[in-house]
Structure 1
Amino acid sequence: MSLWNTRAVRWVEDQYTQAHFEPTRRVWPAGVRLAVMVVLFVLVTGLAAGTRSVAGDNPVLSLLSGAVSVLIALTVYAAAVRFLEQRPVTELDLADAGSVLRVGTAAGLGLFAATIALIALFGGYGTEGGVSVGGALTVLGIMAGVAVVEELLFRGIIFRLVEELTGTRGAMVISGVLFGGLHLVNSGATVWGALAIAVEAGLMLGAVYAATRSLWMPIGLHFGWNYALSGIFGVTVSGNEDQPTGLLHGVLSGPEAITGGGFGPEASIFAILVCTVPTVVFLRIAKRRGRLYTRQQLRSAGTASAS
């Protein structure tokens, strides 16, 4: 391995694992950290959207765009945590990132496969045309960037810092509602679809983070779900009607309660039911591990660590 590559590896480890990190200044208050980091990630989100727009439907450019978005988002998040919070970025520990991402991605793929199977069982899903490998690769790049950027923003920043102010349950509700509200900006958005996203995804991903205290699992789940939805089964993602078609060209027909209508399967009652199962499971795991915190517990822990 060259000297440059050795230094590059050490730099990455310093950014995300930071085994020898030593605080050099006081930690900013949670409300200030929340505001600053949200502003930073609004800029990161805009940059990621810009790179996706430039890439268009080109598979190679889309994969490059996704990789760039992932790298920028992870670097900005790690740098912000180091500066504002004066601590190691333990929620992005690289030691188990690969295995956890694989498990999360497989779980996300499985959850959506179960959802679309239930919709198909009631006659709501079919396909037309052939398959598109290029489309599947294009969506792969898009969804990698989306999963990382959105999870860093909503679980890494909003959930985690709101939790300091309200406790775990308040953080789950607030981050879930905001996550659902984000999807109202999509071209085919509906209020019901946004509420469904808040419940099935916002609460589920919040529960996963609460139980694991790692961002890799929610990133994997988010990516696997979105990629199965658009990259494999070729249906509308969260009312985004301009999304490129993936491997298959899916067609939904029938009652909106079953298919989700123009918003896509995420507004289906089946999506809510399927995602409720892991939400309950992970909340029980979080409770068993003692990771459902009250505001008082977090304040006491912060006071003790500062003394």
Structure 2
Amino acid sequence: MNDTGALHMERAHTEGSRAPNRRLIGPYHLITRLDPSGPGFPPVPQRRFIARSPDGDRTVLLSAPLDGTDPARFLVEADAARLLSVPWVAPVTEVSPPSGAPWYSSPYLPALPLPVALAVHGGPLPERTVRVIGAALAETLAGAHAAGVTHAGLSPAAVLLGGDGPRLTSFGAVRAAAPDGEQRSGLPGLEPGSLAPEQASGGRPRPPGDIYALGAVLAYAATGHTVPDSAELPASLRSLISRCLTRDPAARPSAVEVLTALPTVSAAPSATVLDSAAALLTPGWLPGRVVAAVARQSAEVLAAEIRVPQTPER
């Protein structure tokens, strides 16, 4: 895709903020969808919107389940994510009541989904950016796994890129898509290349499945494909990504091993596992065109005018 087409595509999914809004989810007025639709983009595990509170004082990232997924499971996963304290996530701050349409909200930070960032950049991201993404995601997964939590929703669309670093969203998308024991391959919202074989066949989500998905995300950021040929991968990351993507769960590295292997500590001699991803967020880690697109999104959202909708979205 040429640069002009990529910029137009990114702009198209934010320009809806300029039109008066006539929809609600819960109490929130919708400004625009976060994710583009159309061929060439990997599936998104949830419906995601940028929205504003009724008093106009707060802007949030609002998530709702896809049609065909389990709304009760969606809310269980959102509530569990609200209690998890790990870095580099878009924190869940509000969950809808059990009655009514399900949704949850996170504070809005200007950011692009990883697939949009590739489109804006005009292709795969620089290795430096891929390493920052890997460090942040591995650090998040290490903390979650230590707390006994499996993310079960990591895919390219679950990763947001903003000026303050990557953010992970979409906790529990695999569990919301189908219960354990049922085939999950081909279900709406699940990116097939990011779904570990044992989870695709209905197995219970476990930490090794998150590592498989992490490898797929890094492969996507580096090549534009979640299942690339090994030769397409950067030579310095080829072995690590291939280990993450092995079919044998027991042969995959742990999140801490991924974090150590990137490496990140060398970027700052005083860095530790707890702050190593932050040590990589030096000027220039995010490509200039992506930075410009994030700034444009922020300006358009800030300028959005919201009118009281007539009826809530169903």
TM-score, length-normalised on structure 1? 0.28
Which structure has greater helix proportion?
1
Structure with greater Cα Rg: 1
TM-score, length-normalised on structure 2? 0.27
